Structures are given as structure tokens and as C-alpha cells.
């Protein structure tokens, strides 16, 4: 009887879903994915995605604490699978609720099992499940451009619409010590807190966020951020932002340790500022040779902490401290390369082969470039023959300048538990433990979406990626970028399906 009762309930629920679900209208691509009919002013929309990504750090380093333990990486394989499932419930009165979880399968760096670092665990795949959305928000005014939208919860946030690898520095960095990690196809940050935003005019909007620190120790401190950005006559997009990072401390002895073991008064608290500008030259070009996002020039100028903290005690004399704000400036410069087949498919294979063959123009590089020319001409002729676009959606070229004299690492905070001098040592011309490839990093990102749901994404870069370990703590892995040496670089590729 219990079995029959459960079977009847399951059948009734299935029937209700089949009755209430409505497909997209014939001939229309439903880009907002599956939708359910409104019930008493409520619209429910499931959403999600699945992806598989893989790639290599062709040349790089992996570090174990203490700092001298450095392993060279040569064509180190990386692989990750993601699954995201979510539900949005929206009411006519302006209330919107989003709930979503994301699962990840990855393979950590294989550590030697010496009895002290849990090396055995690193030989097994790792499964993580975490929140992607847990957000409730309420909009006042025009649903498309409300004058006020109040949101609270857990949510992904991106304020720089142009950056594909670098940028969005306010929420992705630490000031003392300087730390900025990147991750392929994740140029944003997930935040928890309060978010107020709205449109000042038809072209300009602003955001005010009160968020709690959930990534870098000390945790749970609150940051206050204000952003304002907008469109200037369809020619340029400009924006400014300021953040009081860890402005409100839940335990000030951790945010600003006592002078007894912090004579230089280092603190995790900082003031960050950013300026963004992008220019769209296509405003003056009518040719259909260029795609929608082609030729866009963009920049973000970011100051990662305005306050200097010079060393003033003999015990830390080997550290120069934070005594030059210019070395805490991170500058992003970006350009969207033309996506026309004659300018994209003809170039990409040759560029990939050039880097993969040690930055040499040799036989394999020339063969790859020849294949690229053939594919580019073929795609161009195919576009003309069938009157459809087969070109990429975007090809983004980014360069970043960060004249940081210290390792891009957060190890010392994990070891000491509070803000400290830069770690492990200042870069120098000789005798240093850390490789240093100079202040410039770079990235080339390409994306193509077909059938409104299936996406292909590729990237080659020398960025700030870190190696994932079984347990990201001081004994198993240094949370420090893996490609900060001369000639270091890597590539990644992703296949993603969204609904």
C-alpha cells in the first residue's frame, strides 16, 4: 500500500509538471532556457550548466612550504568537471529568489607521501559541492532598470564587463600581503552579504555592497564597496570603484595584530580603488567585417592598498616592507581581436604552435599556420555560401602589468595567522628562491557558442593560476601562482552546455 501511495503521488506530480511546463514558441530560441507558466503571479525557471575543461601548465612551478621546496612543472595536465543546478522564482511584485549549487570534480597535484603532508589523498580525485546562488532580491521601479534593487545572500558578482581573465580586482585581491589568484573562465568572485544597486540615469548605474570575507584569513571581516559605471554616447564605458577592505573587523587582534608581535603595525585592512574605461571604435565603422565585440579597447587601473607599511624594526630587516604604492598598482590593458575567419582561424593555430614549440618558428609552427590559413579561407567561403556566421564570438587579448617585488603568495598568513611582511623573500637578481618572470602577465581568450547553449572556450596565458592540492594548507601546498617564472605559460579548453 505504501508503495502504491508513493507511486500515485509521483504520477500526480509528473502530470502537474507536464501540464504547467510550456515550451518556447515555435521558431524562437528560448535563451532564458526552460520556463514554467506563471501561477498566481509567480514564475519559476530552472537553470544550470555542465562543463568539462582540461589543459596544461606547459612550463611552471609548484611550491611546498617551506619555500625552498620547488618542483618544476612541464606539461602538467589539469582537468575539471563542473555541474550546476539552480532554480529562480520571480514574482510580479519585484521579488526574485535564486538558489543554485555547483559540484566540482578535479584531480589534485600528486604529493610525495612522506608521512607529513597527506600525500596518499593527493592520488585520488576530489569532489566538492558548494553554493553558487542563495540570493533574495527586491526591485523597485522599472523591472529592466530599477531605481533601487535590494539583494541579500550568496551570489556571483562581476563589475568589469570586458575582462575575461584579469580585472575585477576589488573582490579578487588581498593588499597586505599582495595576493591575486586567477582561475580559467572565472573572472568574477562569489560574495556573501548585502547588495544595493540601481540606475541613476538611463545610462549610469551604481552599486553599494557590504560583504563578509569568506576566502582569505582573517575570515568574516566586513568590507564596504561603492561602484558607479555607465555608457558614454555608445562610444565608451567608464566606471570607478572604492572599497574599504575588511573595514569592519570581527576580531581586531587578527585583522591588526598587537604590537608585541607586530612592531610594524601590519594590518589586513586596506583602501582599494579602481578605474575602468573601454572604447568601442565600431561606433564609427559600418563594415560587417567586424563582429559585435570586435576592436573594443579596455583598461582597468587598480590600486591594491593606498597605505604604506615600511619596516622599522631590526628583526624584519631583510624585508623592505610596503613602502611604494606604485608597486601595488595593477594595470589591465585589453583588446578584442577581429573574429572574421580571415583574421581569426588563420592566426590561432600558428599562435598555439608557436608557444607550444618553445616560442620558435620552426617546421611544426609553419605547418600549423598553413593549416590555419586553409581553415580560415574555408570558413570565410562557407559563411558566404550558407549565409551563416561561423566565426568566434570574441577573441580577447589581455596584458597585465603588476610591478610586485614579492611572491604572489598567501602562505605567511596561513602560517602566522595574521597580517605580516611579504613572504617568502623579496625578489633579487641572484640568490633568490623564487623565479620571477617580470611584471607583465598576458592572456588570449576565445569563445564560440552554438545553438544558444553549447559553448567552446579556449585560453593560453601566463596568468596567476595556482595548483590545486588535496588540502590547500601550508603542509601540502603553497597558495602561490604557478607561472611567475620566465617563459612560463599554459593553455586550457572547455566545453560547456547551459540550460
Q: What is the pLDDT of residues 235-276, one digit of tens each?
A: 999 999 999 999 999 988 888 877 766 667 778 899 999 999
Q: Which of 253, 188, 256, 193 lies closest to 224 in space, CA to CA?
A: 193
What span, in angstroms and rounded, lies between the C-alpha atoms of 390 and 437?
Answer: 37
Indicate left, alpha or beta for 108 from its phi (over 0: left) and psi (-120 to 50: alpha).
Answer: beta
Q: Is the pLDDT of residue 316 over 60?
A: no
Residues 6+ apart with CB under 8 A from 439: 401, 402, 403, 404
Q: Is the pLDDT of residue 425 over 60?
A: no
- Establish if 20 belongs to a structural domain: no
Angstrom distances, CA of residue 347 to CA of 236, 291, 391, 462, 494: 28, 17, 13, 19, 20
- Establish if 346 belongs to a structural domain: no
Q: Is the pLDDT of residue 9 over 50?
A: no
Residue 303, pLDDT score: 97
- Establish if 237 belongs to a structural domain: yes
- Establish if 372 belongs to a structural domain: no
Tens of pLDDT along 344-397? 877 777 777 777 766 667 777 777 777 778 887 877 788 788 877 888 999 999
Tens of pLDDT along 63-121? 664 444 567 888 999 999 999 999 999 988 889 999 999 999 988 877 655 445 555 66
Please give the tally of structural domains in the chain. Answer: 1
**Exposed, middle or buried: residue 5 (CB in 10 Å: 0-12, 13-18, 19+)?**
exposed
**CATH number for the domain that contains residue 138:** 2.40.160
Q: Which of 84, 85, 104, 88 lies closest to 96 in space, CA to CA?
A: 88
Residue 487, pLDDT score: 83
Residues 6+ apart with CB under 8 A from 79: 53, 54, 106, 107
Q: Which of 229, 230, 227, 220 lies closest to 243 in space, CA to CA?
A: 227
363-386 vs 348-356: helix crossing angle, rounded to 10? 160
Helix then strand count (H, E) for the chain reads 5, 20
Tens of pLDDT along 54-63? 999 998 887 6
- Establish if 412 belongs to a structural domain: yes
Residue percentage of the chain with pLDDT more than 90: 45
Angstrom distances, CA of residue 348 to CA of 7, 219, 343, 448: 55, 43, 9, 14
Residue 213, pLDDT score: 94
- Establish if 353 belongs to a structural domain: no
Tens of pLDDT along 320-335? 578 889 989 999 999 9
Q: Is the pLDDT of residue 33 over 70?
A: no
Residue 407, pLDDT score: 76
**Boundaries of domain holding 490:** 51-339+392-498
Residue 123, pLDDT score: 76
pTM: 0.84
Q: Could you give phi then psi for residue 45, rounded to 5 degrees? A: -135, 115
Rg (CA), the chain: 25
Amino acid at each position: 500500500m505504501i508503495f502504491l501511495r508513493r507511486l500515485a503521488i509521483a504520477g500526480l506530480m509528473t502530470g502537474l509538471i507536464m501540464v504547467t511546463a510550456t515550451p518556447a514558441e515555435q521558431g524562437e530560441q528560448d535563451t532564458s532556457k526552460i520556463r514554467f507558466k506563471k501561477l498566481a503571479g509567480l514564475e519559476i525557471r530552472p537553470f544550470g550548466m555542465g562543463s568539462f575543461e582540461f589543459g596544461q601548465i606547459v612550463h611552471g612551478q609548484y611550491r611546498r612550504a617551506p619555500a625552498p621546496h620547488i618542483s618544476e612543472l612541464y606539461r602538467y595536465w589539469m582537468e575539471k568537471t563542473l555541474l550546476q543546478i539552480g532554480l529562480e522564482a520571480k514574482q510580479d511584485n519585484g521579488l526574485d529568489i535564486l538558489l543554485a549549487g555547483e559540484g566540482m570534480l578535479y584531480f589534485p597535484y600528486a604529493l610525495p607521501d612522506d608521512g607529513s603532508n597527506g600525500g596518499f589523498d593527493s592520488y585520488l580525485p576530489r569532489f566538492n559541492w558548494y553554493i553558487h546562488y542563495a540570493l533574495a532580491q527586491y526591485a523597485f521601479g522599472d523591472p529592466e532598470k530599477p531605481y533601487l534593487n535590494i539583494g541579500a545572500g550568496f551570489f556571483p558578482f562581476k563589475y568589469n564587463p570586458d575582462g575575461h581573465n584579469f580585472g575585477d580586482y576589488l573582490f579578487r585581491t588581498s593588499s597586505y600581503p599582495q595576493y591575486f589568484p586567477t582561475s580559467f573562465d572565472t573572472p568574477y568572485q562569489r560574495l556573501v552579504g548585502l547588495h544595493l544597486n540601481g540606475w541613476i540615469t538611463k545610462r549610469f548605474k551604481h552599486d553599494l555592497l557590504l560583504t563578509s570575507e569568506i576566502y582569505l584569513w582573517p575570515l568574516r571581516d566586513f568590507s564596504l564597496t561603492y561602484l558607479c559605471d555607465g555608457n558614454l554616447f555608445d562610444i565608451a564605458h567608464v566606471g570607478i570603484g572604492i572599497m574599504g577592505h575588511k573595514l569592519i573587523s570581527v576580531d581586531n587582534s587578527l585583522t591588526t595584530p598587537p604590537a608585541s608581535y607586530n612592531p610594524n603595525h601590519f594590518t589586513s585592512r586596506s583602501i582599494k580603488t579602481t578605474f575602468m574605461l573601454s572604447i568601442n571604435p565600431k561606433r564609427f565603422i559600418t563594415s560587417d567585417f567586424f563582429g559585435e565585440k570586435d576592436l573594443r579597447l579596455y583598461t582597468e587601473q587598480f590600486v591594491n592598498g593606498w597605505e604604506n607599511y615600511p619596516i622599522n624594526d631590526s628583526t624584519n630587516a631583510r624585508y623592505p616592507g610596503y613602502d611604494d604604492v606604485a608597486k601595488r598598482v595593477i594595470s589591465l590593458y585589453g583588446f578584442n581581436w577581429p573574429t572574421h575567419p580571415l583574421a581569426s582561424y588563420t592566426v590561432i593555430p600558428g599562435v598555439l604552435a608557436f608557444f607550444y614549440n618553445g616560442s620558435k618558428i620552426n617546421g611544426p609552427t609553419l605547418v600549423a599556420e598553413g593549416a590555419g590559413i586553409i581553415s580560415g579561407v574555408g570558413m570565410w567561403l562557407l559563411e558566404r555560401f550558407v549565409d551563416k556566421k561561423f566565426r568566434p564570438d570574441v577573441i580577447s587579448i589581455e596584458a597585465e602589468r603588476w610591478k610586485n617585488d614579492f611572491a604572489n603568495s598567501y602562505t605567511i598568513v596561513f602560517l602566522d595567522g595574521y597580517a605580516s611582511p611579504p613572504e617568502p623573500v623579496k625578489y633579487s637578481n641572484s640568490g633568490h628562491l623564487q623565479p620571477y618572470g617580470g611584471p607583465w602577465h598576458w592572456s588570449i581568450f576565445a569563445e564560440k557558442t552554438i545553438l544558444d547553449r553549447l559553448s567552446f572556450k579556449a585560453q593560453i596565458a601566463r596568468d596567476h593560476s595556482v595548483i590545486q592540492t588535496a588540502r590547500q594548507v601550508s603542509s601540502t601546498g603553497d597558495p602561490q601562482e604557478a607561472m611567475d617564472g620566465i617563459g612560463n605559460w599554459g593553455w586550457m579548453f572547455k566545453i560547456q552546455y547551459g540550460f
